[in-house]
Structure 1
Amino acid sequence: MSDAALLRSRAEQLAAPLPALLAGAQHLARSVLLGSHGRRRPGQGDEFWQYRPVVQGDEARMVDWRRSGRSDEQFVRQKEWQAAQSVMFWVDRSQSMGFASANLAPKGSRAAELAMAMAILLGHGGERVGLSNHDLPPRSGALQLLRMAQALEGDDDHADYGAPNAREIPARARAVFLSDFLGDVTPVEGALTMAADRGVSGVLLQILDPQEEAFPFDGRTIFESMGGTLSHETLKAGDLRTRYLDRLAERKARLRDLCRVTGWQYHLHHTDHSASAALLWLYGALERDH
């Protein structure tokens, strides 16, 4: 079995019990019929919303040639139901996400598994899903899930820390960002601000290893980034613990405040905790965004 197929299999196993627990299929079907997916009023989902530029992956039949003929760009005639039904994921694949305590999954593996499990659940409800930073605009169907799995099992980002991209998220869509968010917070602020300005709501899931919370280091210690570009040696690692924990608490508070200001939702997940519990929270959080 390929790595991509194995990832999808694990995600399907993780997602399997949740629709029954949440009455997911029935609830999602009812929500579509009642127009609670962000549409302005009930209908069949064919209300015109906006024109947007063509992106990679759009089919030629989607292009509105009359509108495109008035400029040098090609445009797609996007409908309100299509925008509101789209969920875009950003999964941090940077070197930092490769960190793991003994006998625990790396943060990046947990993030990819949760993203795939959410995509499967959303697909069951008729949602369109995609990956930002991977040229995968929102689509539905089994082929899209396979493409997502292949992208997430592909080459990792060689940067020490990842940065989300909101430019590929359709207006009025929803989004899920999964990362440890331990790098420069400025790109995160920019992405969430841009998303909020375009009517995009979403959830931010911070994923941390328990060692990153406990800081169980003392004596002579060499700290290195996962990519090897940053290094710090100290003879008294224990003396750094209070300062480290204070800065970590400040980062969490900053992320929570950013989500509050932009209308997003924040949650913290540790890799030694249940993946099902994190998936349950994500599923409920996106439902509350409707």
Structure 2
Amino acid sequence: MLSALFGSAVSEIKQAFLIIDDEAIDELFSDYGSIYGDSAERYARKTYPKWKDQTTKLSGQTMERLVELVPPYLDSTQRFSILQKVLRHHKKFTGTKTIRINVKAPSQGFSELEETLESMSHDHMLVHLPAHVMSAAKWLFDDDITSARAMLAEAESLENDMIRATAKREIALLQKTISTGQVQAATYSVDMPAGRLNVIAYSPSKCFVATVCFGQNAPETKILRSWRDQFLIEQKWGRHFVVWYYNNGENFAKITSRHPVLISLAKIGINILVKAIKYRANRIVK
């Protein structure tokens, strides 16, 4: 299906088909007839005005067959625009990196963030593209593989430049916001050419519930910290939960510490969670 291959660019290809000049459309319909027969050509010629004024919808097999013949009639600007949309449609992020910034002492986190930004600012998108995307590029450039590769490389470069510029601008704003000292906790995610960068700003506290129940260096507390760092912050919902907990955990810990019954209940809940974490870890290892 064209939509699976070209994504949102399908509408642009269809629009290009509908504005082809009279001489070119006559030639295209002749090619269409030579491939699919006289009756198909007559139908296309008869229906074309209705497709143009949208009284009849251009879709289905007829649309796909006609659109397949469009590339020779596209100018270079149209081809490049379509190719950019194809790249965006098929781009897959190859990795995720999470940076945690202590808002009370952010310099180390900022330094790590700068290094990560640089390392994730470069990627060769063409390496990760499915083979059929190259086929789409060849189709757009009349099976000229050299032109297709050149245009893919240029489109990739422009796409990465835009991603980098946006990411660096937004990260700079985040750094400025954290530096004000007014932020206690925040989570942020930005796409980079080489993957997705997650940033968690947090205000450390020693009064969280697990510490109250078991102690700062207890196995249960360490397991929960590891679960936070290796699992929670890799999930969108998990990052939001971590930020929420950084904002509210200290209060919960204070309340819990004053009531033995709450401590007992919290221990039961934490032990259940720790067992679930261990069970999941063992299944992944196996």
Larger radius of gyration: 2
What TM-score, normalized by structure 2, do the two folds share? 0.29
More strand by share: 1
